[in-house]
Structure 1
Amino acid sequence: MDEKKMLIVDDDAGDRKMMRRHLSKLYPTNSILEAESGETARSFVDEEVEVIFLDYQLPDISGIDLMSSFFRRWPHCVIFIMTGQGDEEIAKSAILSGAADYISKSAITPGALQRMIANGLQVARMKWRIEEHQKELQQFSDVLVHDLRAPIRAIKFLSDQILEDFAAGDMDEVTREFDLMKKSVSKMSDLIERLASHINPHSEGAPEMIAAESLVESACLAISQDIANSDAIISTEHNDISVSCFPPDISQLLQNLISNSIKYRSKEQPQIDISVKQLSSGVQFAIQDNGIGVPEEYRKRIFEPFKRLQRSSDLPGSGLGLATCAKIAKRHDGEIWCDPNVSSGTLIRFSLKLPPPMTLPDQEDDEEETVVPAAFRDTQARARH
């Protein structure tokens, strides 16, 4: 995915210059786009915009009216409304329309911008996580109703049968029915554990820099018995790369992918190749195997909760493993996908792009010469007359 960008939408060239100057100093690695009208802003359809500073009044459209089209194109963007003069009604309508915050141009300083962006992104990400959890809870309830109904019915039926056969003195049949009941209980327990793992909230604490080699070793150690039982051969190419991440999450992600490669193996001895490469903003892992592969029509759907290949329906599993992988990658500002450019087996790639922590600007930045905003120029002109 392309690097995230910031967009300034303002018809005043001086205000845009001021904003670009402040933002470039605060976030020198970010790309900053400019638009002098709503029409120009809409032309950035191929860009990945994360933060938008939007003038309340543009020549061709109101900033408030423009927000809806921005949210359709960039549903997770954070929008800040700017105006030449403070107005409580404008601030209220901006927030109600989905803006993260509102600021008068006369109050814009590097420190104010950085606080707005940090707080806005934090609140927005919390909101997105809440929305995700709401969807997952709905899926959770659907599974409880559907997938748990069958084993519960089986346990009830077997309980009745056990009582009848025990009364009749048929202990062999009682033993067989108890074994069947244990399998039904085990199935329910496994499903509940997988659901709990999938909806588990974000890891606590701050991300760490950790060697990719250490993450792979940790994952392999956790499933060493499965690796040994399957006689799988695992090769790694980590290139001495370090990763910014929540280590337990990434270890779990790797465990799920390696386990899948073992579970969906072909008749050949499992061969799993794990490699890591550096990206411009993060890292990318690749896990390739010589298993049964994934048909083209399933390559996107397998990362959705409770989706499984039809031909693998006889294998154990709940359909949550890859969905959990997708969720973990997303928590790390990355993504996961099934590479289509393979002739046999499966190649899964995932990226991790946790941004570096933001640092406060030097105090002297506020004292440097700045471009005078339009609101100041208008006020000064009126004062002179």
Structure 2
Amino acid sequence: MTGRWRLTSQRLFALTIGAMTLLIAIGSWAGWASLADTTAVSDRLQQRISPAATAVVELGAALLDQETSVRGYLLSRERQFLDPYDAGQETERRKAAELRRLLADEAVALAGLEKVEAAATQWRSRFAEPLITAADPQSPLVVPGKAAFDALRADLTGLRQQVDVARDSGRQALVHSRQQRDTIFVVIVGGLLAGLFVIALTLQRAVLGPLDRLQGAVRRVADGDFEHRVPAGGPSDVAALAADVEAMRERIVAALAESRAQEDKLRRSNSDLEQFAYVASHDLQEPLRKIASFCQMLQRRYSPQLDERAQQYIAFAVDGATRMQALINDLLAFSRVGRVYDNVTEVDLAATLRRVRSDLAPRLEDTKAEIECPELPVVHGDPTLLAMLWQNLISNAVKFRRPDADPRIEIAAEPDGAMWQFAVQDNGIGIEPQFEDKIFVIFQRLHPRDVYPGTGIGLAICKRIVEHHGGRIWLDPQYTSGARLCFTLPAAP
């Protein structure tokens, strides 16, 4: 099966199924024929020969009744002694008819039956009837009549022997048929087993073997050995599949090489980004510090000489420089997520939350904030990033509180398959559902800066931290008594 004449696995399976069907059909036909022959031989023996032997015995009894009845009548001369004679003739006719039906295919026995019937008829016409008419026990017909009946009994014995011969022959034929049947069944079973073995061997070599080799090669490639070639063999469709997998492997190898090249570029780009972050955190903030410092010195030294508008302009300059510094610091924090902080380990969130609450203790006391929290689980992640996550979420809940109510923050946690799902809800001013996507975008603000301070990057950092850990974060639109933020984190192994 090579080249363009190679069969597909579907056709191979169709051929094997056809071969199995043919074997089963031949075996079924042979078994049926053997059973039919055995049944026919058994039926001949049980339904014809054996009943014929019984009928011969009954026929002999009917003839003997006739002879005994004639002798009894001659001795007693009473008519009642002839009743068995008449009944014996009726039984003789019935049994003779039954024997002719049962022995229709037995020519020798049938001839013996005719001989017995002829002898019986001759005995009755020549001796029995004349003796009954004469009613004389001293009649000269008694002695020859007895001799004639003895000859009739000899013919009946011959008929019985012929039936016994037929019965013995039938028994031997039944034994032979059963032996032949058993032999045929053994041959059928052996042939089926041999056929199944040949079919299984053919499938193993032609289909299953190539599939196993293909599976092994694919698993080896899947385990990371991308340089291992996938061999093509077996039926045409399996070979085509192997060729497709090999083409896919080659594309993966090419894509991997390109990815490694891009990774090298990305590594260099990250190095440049780290250099930029260093410049941003030092060189860019230095002029801003100078602007703010000199503006403040100008305000202190020349305050008596400046009017209210000049004082306002200086305040604007100082505020702008301060906000620029805050924006730079927040940008640095945002860029460090997943790059600088990536120490993945098992993190006890309960301990992490205690540290965050300790850091925020002055602000929580000033606002009289209450935090209700259950026992938190251990998750898989970076301790610094997860602390930053809790700090941003709790700070937001405190910052966006209602002016007429003390902040109340409730934290919930429940398992969700291989993840843990958390919820942080407050009784603050809440977030409208239409702003669900906007709140997680960097520098997006929903409120004026003079009402709620900040750069608008807190929830963007939360989203980046959660997604870096393989989870997701969203706003619960069903909660209307404040804001309820939900997120997932991977459970510890």
Give me the TM-score of the superposition, normalised by structure 1.
Answer: 0.53
Q: Aligned residue for 2:364?
A: 227
Distance 1:354 1:129 in 2: 30
Q: Residue 306 of structure 1 aligns with which residue?
A: 443
CA-CA distance at 1:280 after TM superposition: 1.5
How much has 1:354 moved relative to structure 2? 7.0
Quick one: which amino acid aligns to residue 254 of structure 1? W
Deviation at 1:236, TM superposition (A): 0.4
* CA-to-aligned-CA distance 1:286-332 (integer Å, 9 cap, x gap): 10001111111111221111112146774211111111111111111
Contact 1:234–1:274 under 8 Å retained in 2: yes
Q: Does 1:271 align with 2:434?
A: no
Secondary structure of 2:363's partner? helix
Return the letter of the residue paired with 1:233. Answer: E
Q: How does 1:205-284 map to 2 (within 5 A)?
A: 206-239=343-376, 241-267=377-403, 268-284=405-421
Of Structure 1 and Structure 2, the greater strand share is in 1
Out of 274, 278, 286, the position equivalent to 2:423 is 286
SS in structure 2 at match of 1:342 = coil
1:200 equivalent in alignment to 2:363: no
* 324-333 or 181-190, larger mean C-alpha shift: 181-190
CA contact (8 A) 1:245 1:354 kept: no
Local SS of the residue matching 1:83:
helix
- Paired position in structure 1 for 2:489: 352
Q: Which has the higher helix share?
A: 2
Residues 131 and 221 (structure 1), Cα distance of their counterparts in 2 relative to 1, 3 Å cut? farther
Following superposition, the deviation at residue 276 of structure 1 comes to 2.0
In structure 1, give the amino acid aligned to 2:379: V
Q: CA RMSD, aligned part only?
A: 5.2
* Alpha-carbon spacing, 1:125–1:253, altered in 2? closer, same or farther (3 Å): farther
Partner of 2:54: none
TM-score by length of 2: 0.42
CA 1:212 to 1:266, structure 2 compared with 1: closer, same or farther past 3 Å? Answer: same
Give yes or no for contact 1:339–1:347 (8 Å, CA) kept in 2. yes
Q: Which residue of 2 aligns with 1:342?
A: 479
| Secondary structure, counterpart of 1:210 in structure 2 | strand
Contact map agreement 2:352 2:383 (CA 8 A) in 1: yes
Provide, for residues 80-107 of structure 1, a one-character-per-residue CA deviation record: whole Å limited to 9, x for no partner. x9428xx9xx73x5444x3579xxxxxx
Give the number of aligned pairs.
260
The match for 2:72 is none
Higher RCO (CA < 8 A, seq sep 6+): 1
Partner of 2:6: none
2:133 is aligned to none
Paired residues of 2:412 and 2:422 also in contact (CA < 8 A): yes
- The answer as to whether partners of 1:289 and 1:347 remain within 8 angstroms in 2 is yes
Structure 1 residues 100 and 231: CA distance shift in structure 2, 3 A: farther
Going from structure 1 to structure 2, the CA distance change for 1:236 and 1:218 (only over 3 Å counts) comes to same
How far the C-alpha of 1:179 sits from its partner, in A, is 4.8
Look up the SS of the partner of 1:191 in the other structure.
helix
2:488 aligned with 1:325: no
Measured at CA, do residues 322 and 178 of structure 1 come closer, stay the same or move farther in structure 2, by a change above 3 Å?
Answer: same
Paired residues of 2:438 and 2:444 also in contact (CA < 8 A)? yes
Larger Rg: 2
- Conserved in 2, the CA contact under 8 Å of 1:293 and 1:346? yes
Give 1:275's aligned amino acid: A
C-alpha contact (below 8 Å) 1:249/1:328 kept by paired residues: yes
Given that 1:162 and 1:177 are in contact with CA atoms closer than 8 Å, whether structure 2 keeps it comes out as no
Which structure 2 residue ranges, 5 or more long, are not aligned? 1-209, 224-229, 278-284
Tell me, in whole angstroms, the C-alpha distance in 2 between the residues paired with 1:330 and 1:201.
10
Query: Which amino acid in structure 2 is aligned with residue 249 of structure 1?
Result: L
Contact 1:274–1:288 (Cα < 8 Å) also in 2: yes
Distance 2:351 2:451 in 1: 34
Give yes or no for contact 1:207–1:246 (8 Å, CA) kept in 2: yes
Q: What do residues 160-185 of structure 1 show as CA deviations (whole Å, max 9, x unaligned)?
A: x959x94x961676776655543333
Following the alignment from structure 1 to structure 2, what is the Cα–Cα distance between the partners of residues 284 and 313? 35
Q: Corresponding residue for 1:191? A: 327
Measure the CA separation in 2 of the matches of 1:56 and 1:305.
51
